[in-house]
Structure 1
Amino acid sequence: MIDSHCHLDLLADKKEIQQVLLDAKSAGVQKIVVPGINEANWERIRKLSTDYDQIHYALGFHPQFLDGVTKSSLERLAQLVEEQVPEKCVAIGECGLDFYHDREGEAFQKQVLEAQITLANHCKLPVLLHCRKAHQDLAVLLKQTQPKYGGVVHGFSGSLQQAMDFVKLGLKIGVGGVITYERAKKTRATIAALPLESLLIETDAPDMPLSGYQAVLMSLK
């Protein structure tokens, strides 16, 4: 198995990474993809990937962390991807749209996302997409600027129709801990109805605890 989305860099200050990787391997997880958030964590996750064979990484700008992002920032992203650790940088992201609190900055979020998709297409890489309260907007944008090498909508919790809109665009649906909650009936039904080949597993650790493990998450914060 491959954990397609895990923020191991956020665990590094709380747990011994070597032990985390051993525990993961004993559970059958052979590889882990660590997504970038912004320039602040890029170098750290690159180093993790060189230190441990089990770790791969992605570089990108998360839509919630765009303060200070400029044209120069996007140019630095492109340069780092071009100079990627061989066979270790496997995607662009975590990028996407997030309108959870409000739609302020919507145009800028879309502009930065489009730039990252264009970079992914140029480098022949997939994208790791974050989407919260923005499924329709994201689907429209992806039809206009389509990721040519696929990707995954991570942490998906929308409707079956929304999921199929993304699947038809050649994307995978990221399945995380939310489906372990009995109350998440809509999401559980949606995931159960999707083609198995359209699903990827992820933990989004340490931010998406499994049902019954919330106390473990709190101990890591």
Structure 2
Amino acid sequence: MIDSHSHIFHARYDSDREDVITRAIERGIDHLLQVACNLPECHTVIELAERVPGIYAALGVHPHDADTVNTAVVDEIERLLVHDKVVAWGEIGLDFYYDNSPREQQQTAFEVQLARAISNEAPVVIHTRDAEPETLAIMKRNPNERGGHVHCFTGTMDMAKALLDLGYDLGFTGIVTFKSAADLREVVKMVPLDRLLIETDSPYLAPVPHRGKRNEPAFVADVAAAIAEIKGVSLQQLLEATNENFYRVYAKPGLTWEKLAFAQA
């Protein structure tokens, strides 16, 4: 199986990152997509991807750091995009829940990065929270034939359908296991099996039965089990579909998907 969105390059893993990778391998995880949220992290995730065969990278500036986006930053991400193990631009988008950057700057940073990703024929990793109309408006103005992955989807049924119509796949995290997520489970039921991804968003959002702990990629197995039950399919069917979806969304000319293996620093 694949954890299609996590952040184990964070400092919270500095003391046991190799153990986290080992536990993921032991749980049956083949690949991890490590997603940067600002320019320094772009370099960090590339270093991790270079060191561990099964780890791949997505590069971008998160809406929380939208006030750092300028031409030089976007140019640098574009330069790094050609790296063999960089498969997407992201995560980018809008977050009007925390508003860590002014909303106008968030929208400008999102649109600039989305347009640059499109010009490079790159899929995108999108973050959206409490900003459905604004997110859709920008995405509709900037149609991306390569599509991408709207990660940690927690939005409305209408938003999910609109994103699917725009050609994007939807990723779901441990939130689907929470008692409070009944509406989200209905969205999961609606999303076609061939448009769905599983993820942890580690270190955040650990699924039941690990809720309250630091999340890690091995726990994507619990997310997968929950989604298989919600959709009424076997775990094997769910994993075959989500693996195939990941390879389709993040396909890159010349890229060979390697088996995740031990790689010590």
TM-score w.r.t. the length of structure 2 is 0.76
Aligned residue type for 1:146: P
Aligned to 2:14: 13
Q: Could you say what secondary structure the match of 1:211 adopts?
A: coil
Q: Distance in 1 between matches of 2:109 and 2:65?
A: 11
Aligned length: 214
Q: Distance in 2 between matches of 1:69 and 1:103?
A: 14
Aligned to 2:2: 2
Aligned residue type for 1:107: E
Q: Does the 8 Å CA contact 2:152/2:171 hold for their aligned counterparts?
A: yes
Q: Distance in 2 between matches of 1:172 and 1:24?
A: 24
Please identify, of 194-203 and 116-125, the stretch whose mean Cα deviation from structure 2 is larger: 116-125
Q: Structure 1 residues 35, 171: closer, same or farther in 2, change over 3 A?
A: same
Instruction: After superposition, give the CA deviation of every residue in 1:86-139 in whole Å (9 maximum; x if it has no partner).
Output: 1x1010001111111359722221221122112222222110000010112111
Q: Could you say what secondary structure the match of 2:5 adopts?
A: coil
1:126 to 2:123 alignment: yes
Q: Give, in angstroms, the shift of residue 179 of structure 1.
A: 0.3
The one of 186, 208, 217 equivalent to 2:205 is 208
Q: Could you say what secondary structure the match of 2:62 adopts?
A: coil
Q: Could you say what secondary structure the match of 1:9 adopts?
A: coil
Aligned to 1:73: 73
Q: Structure 1 residues 102, 18: closer, same or farther in 2, change over 3 A?
A: closer
Instruction: After superposition, give the CA deviation of every residue in 1:57-93 in whole Å (9 maximum; x if it has no partner).
Output: 01000000123332222122222224x2x1x101000
Q: Could you say what secondary structure the match of 2:68 adopts?
A: coil
Aligned to 2:90: 93
The one of 107, 124, 140 equivalent to 1:143 is 140
Q: Could you say what secondary structure the match of 1:214 adopts?
A: coil
1:172 to 2:169 alignment: yes
Q: Distance in 2 between matches of 1:203 and 1:118?
A: 27
Q: Structure 1 residues 103, 35: closer, same or farther in 2, change over 3 A?
A: closer
Q: Does the 8 Å CA contact 2:81/2:88 hold for their aligned counterparts?
A: no
Q: Distance in 1 between matches of 2:151 and 2:101?
A: 22
Q: Distance in 1 between matches of 2:56 and 2:101?
A: 33
Q: Distance in 2 between matches of 1:122 and 1:162?
A: 25
The one of 178, 182, 187 equivalent to 1:181 is 178
Q: Distance in 1 between matches of 2:158 and 2:76?
A: 37
Q: Does the 8 Å CA contact 2:67/2:105 hold for their aligned counterparts?
A: no
Q: Distance in 1 between matches of 2:124 and 2:3?
A: 15
Q: Distance in 2 between matches of 1:38 and 1:176?
A: 22
Q: Give, in angstroms, the shift of residue 160 of structure 1.
A: 1.4
Superposition misfits of 4+ residues, deviation over 4 angstroms: none
Q: Does the 8 Å CA contact 2:67/2:101 hold for their aligned counterparts?
A: no
Q: Distance in 2 between matches of 1:183 and 1:167?
A: 24
Structure 2's unaligned 5+ residue stretches are: 216-265
Q: Does the 8 Å CA contact 1:128/1:154 hold for their aligned counterparts?
A: yes
Q: CA RMSD in A?
A: 1.7
Aligned residue type for 1:164: K
Please identify, of 46-55 and 105-114, the stretch whose mean Cα deviation from structure 2 is larger: 105-114
Q: Distance in 2 between matches of 1:171 and 1:182?
A: 27
Q: Does the 8 Å CA contact 1:126/1:150 hold for their aligned counterparts?
A: yes
